[in-house]
Structure 1
Amino acid sequence: MDDAGGLPTETRRGIAVVIAVVFLDLLGFGIIIPILPFYVRSFGLSDLFIGLLAASYSFAQFVAAPMLGRISDERGRRPVLMLSVGVAGVAWTVFGLAAEVDAAFGTVAAVATLFGARTLAGAAGGNIATAQAYIADVTSVDDRASALGLVGAAFALGFVFGPAIGGLAASDAVVGAAERVLPAFIPTTKFSLPSFAAATMSFIALATAAVVLKEPARTAVAANRVSFLAQFRRTFADVTLRPLVVAFFLTSFAFAGVQVMFVPFVADFFDYDATEAALFLTYIGVLGTINQGVLIGRLSKRYSPRPVVFAGTVSLFLALLLLALSPFLGALIPPPGGPVWVTGGLLVLLAFGALASFGNGAVTVGLSTLVSQGAAEGEQGSAFGVTQGAGSLGRTVGPPLAAAAYVVVYWSPFVAGALLMVPVVLVLRAGRR
């Protein structure tokens, strides 16, 4: 880790293990992305259930993140991280067995299995608050932004490689090979194999944490059974943390909706098929990894977190407006020459991807750093839990609303997302000390 080179070896090792655990956890989540719509349709369900399943994960994460953060303050970071990735492994295993449940007990039971497993995985996914709190425990204020940026880079890498692994595991060649190699009692379908691959990633993360990860030295807090709502009320009573929670919600609300509607948008207006859309998402993911792992960490060394967040919101504002206008701008830009697939529209989308990846990374890292600076020493986990919970709530309600807006006027979710960056700037300015 470039910016953490001055940290003790033990600290660097702990940060590396936490980042590896986050990466493996998110890799498992990403593996499920390409199969989820087709898995739902295989049971004869409406596409509405695709959105509901996606929302169930985010809502469970929203509820669980503050609780896991608080428990990690009381009981320790290591046991919470280990428990959560172990639960995720069980959840993804059960998720892959829904077809067997359907054959034995019927479709209703299979759907309940899907929702139960997805909800359990979402609750386990609330461990990001604990991972961030671990980073805050072992780094100084000067090194924290860079380390938190690497956690964001692990997120980005999980979304780059996860869907690719999921698509590979669902391919006919891999399914055929699995049928020949695996015992007959293990289901080998294009839905079960990616699910089991996701579970494997979670169990590898569990083994890694169990063997290598050590509990950080920190100020523990006494057990205090504060309710979920009480944590949010207490956080909102803090004039420093309140605007950060609001900002997490608004940016997550806006960006999650755009993420969901991006693929149908490029299919409708640029004739992209699923492979082309996936390649473009990979481009954004690679840029996000570079931004959060290198560029934003260096900017955070030079500037305080608040200007970094402001730069990110401006970048997102411009990116979303550019996306809304891309069909018109693409038609105005003459082809630059070269391969026929290099069009004006592609150039506009590439610019959108660069701005969006930087903006999302700068906002995420900057807000996380502000939370770590504003929270009390013994309540880092709780503070990160509440703010990440607010982000999960935004990712729960944003996509269905964006989809409804897209049906009415295609550009409306992108313009609305851009406009939501304005109140983000305002609440951060209002919360400035």
Structure 2
Amino acid sequence: MTTDSEDRTARRGARAPAPAFIMVTVGLDVLALGLIIPVLPRLVVDFLGGDTEQGAEILGLFGTVWALMQFLAGPVLGSLSDRVGRRPVILLSNVGLGLDYVLMALAPNLSWLFVGRIISGITGASITTSFAYIADVTPAEGRPKAYGMLGAAFGIGFIVGPAIGGLLGNFDPRLPFWCAAGFSLLNAAYGWFVLPESLPRDRRAGFSWRRANPVGALALLRSRPGLLGLAGISFLFNLAHESLPAAFVLYATYRYHWDKGMIGLTLAGVGVCSAVVQGGLIGPIVGRLGAPRALVLGLVAGAVGFAIYGLAETGPLFWVGMPVMAFWGVAGAALQGIASTEVDPTEQGQLQGALQSVRGIAGLIGPGLYTLAFAYAIGAGADWHQPGLPYLIAALCLVAALGLAGATVRRRRAIEAT
């Protein structure tokens, strides 16, 4: 028996699932997210009467609660997508995000904005499900390149979104939220009429709360010898990444005195560099080095890039780190490609849910860690006045991840040798 959604897809004829379909979904999703990045911190600070130090602490709380919702909801939605398919979960997520952006656009105070972040943490699963979609439709050897293309879609979204959001935010800090709502609902319409299902019924698994709860989802990572080390790398990778949304706007405003427009254009520049590397270079790099060595290369680039960000005393020096940081994306694509080969086709959604739980744990720690580190570094009582402290901590996280990656390379070499 087929579902109504599958029947409609069959009648529309012939849209075979392919990575290109999910690239559009992710691009629109990240575009909506990028619109609000330059303005959300400033909106929080405005609600607090211009207190940047207290704003950093509140943003840390926002980020922690958002990550907690991701930690709780990610495994449920991942396992649900193994049961009902990827398409319904993506549609539900996009509709929920669109309505949530409307709520945040209308928020009269910090409490309502806080509620909006809780909802976005629950509904923000379309990107996670997209990784499972790629695993459904791509052979194992082609997945790092496909994940790189997915990363390019991220980059394109961040090229356009922050640039537009920064410019619109100069007129009204709430206007980007309305635009983000429109793009999320447009994404839902695209998914309804165009996006095909990627998971055939004969490859679906039954839904189980034992596997869907966060603890049960993490058990999958312990059940495969190669997944536990990869999960550790993923945790450190995402803990380092949390420094960017948690501290960048506050850091750039404080240290470089950039306005919303300059912040948006800088984020767009980051997106351009990321799109070039992930869209055009990941395939050749992984093909030449292999996924494990590409993972190491990407982590080295990320550690160096974060060090440049943290030590840059001027805006132009910060920009020097952007092309270096772009090669960090090689690590993410390689990591996803390696992890997807460790489980069966029926477990891809569960795997992505488990990795989402790992990202959620990093998200629980990261916002508070980096915003408090920034607040301490700029405070009057700081022993070492270093506003770039959050990025130096992120660089150390990636150095630690390199140690785990070295063990992964040795393990993969032993597997290949046998």
| Bucket of the pairwise TM-score, normalised by the shorter protein | 0.7 to 0.9
Matched, 1:279 2:228: no
* Residue 404 of structure 1, CA deviation: 2.7
2:223 corresponding residue in structure 1: 237
Within 1, Cα distance between the matches of 2:312 and 2:110? Answer: 39
Matched, 1:195 2:177: yes
1:342 corresponding residue in structure 2: none
Matched, 1:221 2:205: yes
8 Å Cα contact 1:257/1:395 also seen in 2: no
* Residue 263 of structure 1, CA deviation: 4.6
Change (3 A) 1:162 1:56: farther
Matches within 5 A, 1:79-158: 79-99=88-108, 110-158=109-157
1:376 corresponding residue in structure 2: 344
Matched, 1:50 2:50: no
Structure 1 residue identity aligned to 2:131: Q
8 Å Cα contact 1:65/1:128 also seen in 2: no
2:392 corresponding residue in structure 1: 415
Structure 1 residue identity aligned to 2:159: V
Alignment size in residue pairs? 379
Matched, 1:390 2:358: yes
8 Å Cα contact 2:102/2:181 also seen in 1: yes
8 Å Cα contact 1:284/1:353 also seen in 2: yes
How well do the aligned residues superpose, as a CA RMSD in angstroms? 2.4
Identify which range, 209-218 or 256-265, moves more after superposition. Answer: 256-265
Uncovered stretches (5+) of structure 1, i.e. residues with no partner? 1-8, 100-109, 173-189, 331-344
Q: What is the CA deviation profile of residues 305-345 of structure 1, one whole-angstrom value per residue up to 9, with x for unaligned ones?
A: 11111001111122223334434xx8xxxxxxxxxxxxxx7
SS at match of 2:204: coil
Uncovered stretches (5+) of structure 2, i.e. residues with no partner? 1-13, 413-418
* Residue 58 of structure 1, CA deviation: 2.9
SS at match of 1:216: coil
SS at match of 1:374: coil
Identity value in percent: 30
8 Å Cα contact 1:68/1:127 also seen in 2: no
Within 2, Cα distance between the matches of 1:262 and 1:87? Answer: 27
Within 2, Cα distance between the matches of 1:166 and 1:259? Answer: 15
Within 2, Cα distance between the matches of 1:38 and 1:267? Answer: 10
* Residue 365 of structure 1, CA deviation: 0.7
Within 2, Cα distance between the matches of 1:324 and 1:95? Answer: 31
Greater Cα radius of gyration, structure 1 or 2: 1
Within 2, Cα distance between the matches of 1:111 and 1:405? Answer: 22
Within 2, Cα distance between the matches of 1:92 and 1:277? Answer: 21
SS at match of 2:334: helix
TM-score, length basis structure 1:
0.80
Within 1, Cα distance between the matches of 2:173 and 2:261? Answer: 19
Matches within 5 A, 1:299-310: 299-310=285-296
TM-score, length basis structure 2:
0.83
Change (3 A) 1:246 1:33: same
Aligned residue among 212, 215, 235 for 2:194: 212
1:181 corresponding residue in structure 2: none
8 Å Cα contact 2:274/2:327 also seen in 1: yes
Change (3 A) 1:302 1:90: same
Q: What is the CA deviation profile of residues 395-423 of structure 1, one whole-angstrom value per residue up to 9, with x for unaligned ones?
A: 34223312333414425433332222232
